Structure 1
């Protein structure tokens, strides 16, 4: 039972990441190509918007952690903001390195960087730190 639940949680988290990521990626291209912002700034803006979408989906659907405790959402928002700050920094830096050092187009470099950041940084921190459910809360929610 535990493994099945963990697999479904992981798959739902990937859907949330995909929707937030698609928004993020599309806006990055829009801001870079249409508004002529440097892709690092575009990643900052688009990453923030994508993060808001991702947080909402994760909180209310993936981890179903929408309890009415306002202090809990404040804590989750703060932690999520720290993860997003790290994620945007890693994505910007990784994309810039791939573009400057290896001459990879920023759109491709961003996809490469995202795959590492999403699975190796975002998912573990979001699951085990941002939306971690304490044992006491698990007992209350299962009743």
Structure 2
């Protein structure tokens, strides 16, 4: 039962990340290609919009039964903002490094960087820090 719920939560979180990510990526391309912003600035703007979408889906759908309504939104927003600030910094830096050092097109470099940042940074921090299940609630759910 626990594994099934954990896998379902992980898959839901991936849907939230995908929807936020596709918005983020599409907006980055638009801002860079059409509005001619440098991709690092585009990532900053698009990452913020994607983060708002991601947070909303995570709070109201993915983690709502675990901690979404039991934790104050201000606390979650603050923590989420810190995670997203780190995420955007890692994505911008990683994309820039891949483009400058390895001559990888920024669009491809961004996808590569996103894979590492999403699974190695964002998901663990969002699940275990931003929307952390408190011990009392965990005991209630397992009974």
TM (norm. structure 2) is 0.93
1:8 partnered with 2:35: no
Specify the alignment match of 1:29 in structure 2. Answer: 29
Distance 1:48 1:141 in 2: 33
| Distance of 1:128 and 1:79 partners within structure 2 | 11
Unpaired runs of at least 5, structure 1: none
Paired residues of 2:63 and 2:131 also in contact (CA < 8 A): yes
Partner residue, 1:39: 39
Whether 2:122 is the aligned partner of 1:122: answer yes
**Aligned-residue RMSD, C-alpha:** 1.5
The one-character-per-residue Cα deviations of 1:4-60 (angstroms, maximum 9, x if unpaired) are 000000000000000000000000000000000000000000000000000000011
Number of residue-to-residue matches in the alignment: 141
Who is 1:61 aligned against? 61
Structure 2 segments unaligned to the other structure (5+ residues) = none
Mapped to 2, the partners of 1:142 and 1:60 lie a distance apart of: 21
Over 6 Å off, 4+ runs: 140-143
Alpha carbons 2:28, 2:46 under 8 Å: kept: yes
Give me the whole-angstrom Cα distance separating, in 2, the residues matched to 1:137 and 1:44. Answer: 36
How far residue 135 of structure 1 moved from its aligned partner, in angstroms, is 1.6
TM-score (norm 1): 0.93
In 2, Cα distance between equivalents of 1:39 and 1:62: 30
Following the alignment from structure 1 to structure 2, what is the Cα–Cα distance between the partners of residues 60 and 141?
A: 18
